[in-house]
Amino acid sequence: MKAPSKYPRKYADKVEEMARFLVVGHIQNEGNSIHSVIENKTRNVLIYTPDQWSLAFKMATANAKPYVVKEVTQSLIFDFKSCITFFDNWKKNCIGELVMWNKICEVNVQAKDLFKLNYKYTFEKDAYKTTQCVRSNTRTAIQNVTKKFDSLDVAYKSLLAIDKKMQRSLRSLYFDCNP
C-alpha cells in the first residue's frame, strides 16, 4: 500500500524541527508537566470508549486554552527505514570533524535544508555544527531521495493485532462491567 502521492512532501515546506536532549540528572521537561496535568485532571473522570480520551486530553489544561491533540492513525505512520540507504553520512560533519552523538544537546532541521542536520553540544547560543546526511550533494542524489520520500510506503499494511493477553484482559473487563 503506497502513501498518497506528494503526501509526505506536502509538509516539507513547513518543517522546522528542533529537539533538546536532557542532561543526565535533569528530569523536568514540558512533556512530563503536561502528562502530570492530564493525569491529575482525568483521575476521577469516567471514560467509556477510547475516543473519549482525546476530549479528556484537550480539556485537561490548567488554563483556558485547550491542548492541541493530534490523533494518529496507522495511515499516518510511514516506513522511513526504506530511505536509510540514501542517508549514509552519520560520522563526520561538513568540516570533517567526527560527530559525537552521545554529547549532542540540541538538534535542528529546517525546511530549506532537509538533508542537513544542525546540532550543538551545549544549550548556549553557540553556532550550530552541520552534517550533510546525504553524502553526495548532486541534483541527481537529491532527486533520488525526494522520489523515495514521495513514494513512501505506510509502515503497516494491515491493522496491528492486539496481543492475546491484552484481548482477554479487555474482554474480561468489559464483561465484568456489563453482566
User: 82 lies in a domain?
Assistant: yes
In a domain, 168, yes or no: no
**Domain total of the chain:** 1
Residue 177 lies in a domain: no
Question: pLDDT tier at 4 (50, 70, 90 boundaries)?
Answer: very low
In this structure, are residues 114 and 15 in contact, taking their beta carbons and an 8 Å threshold?
A: yes
Quick one: pLDDT at residue 179?
A: 67
- Is 35 within the bounds of a domain? yes
Indicate yes or no: pTM above 0.85: no
Alpha-carbon distance of 39 to 8, in angstroms, equals 33
Query: Which three three-digit cell numbers place residue 38?
Result: 492530564
Residue 89 structural domain: 9-157
- Assigned domain for 92 exists: yes
Residue 175 is assigned to a structural domain of this protein: no
CA–centroid distance for 31 within its chain: 13
Cell numbers for 150, please give them: 514521495
- Residue 115 lies inside a defined structural domain of this protein: yes
Compare 123 and 114 and report the one with higher pLDDT: 123
Identify whether 167 is part of a domain.
no
Nearest to 67 by CA among 44, 43, 33: 33
The pLDDT of residue 25 is 54
How far apart, in Å, do the first and last CA atoms of the chain sit? Answer: 41
Statement: residue 79 has pLDDT above 70 = yes
Identify whether the C-beta of residue 131 lies closer than 8 Å to the C-beta of residue 108.
no
The pLDDT of residue 50: 81
pLDDT category of residue 7 using cuts at 50, 70 and 90 = very low
pLDDT, averaged across the chain: 77
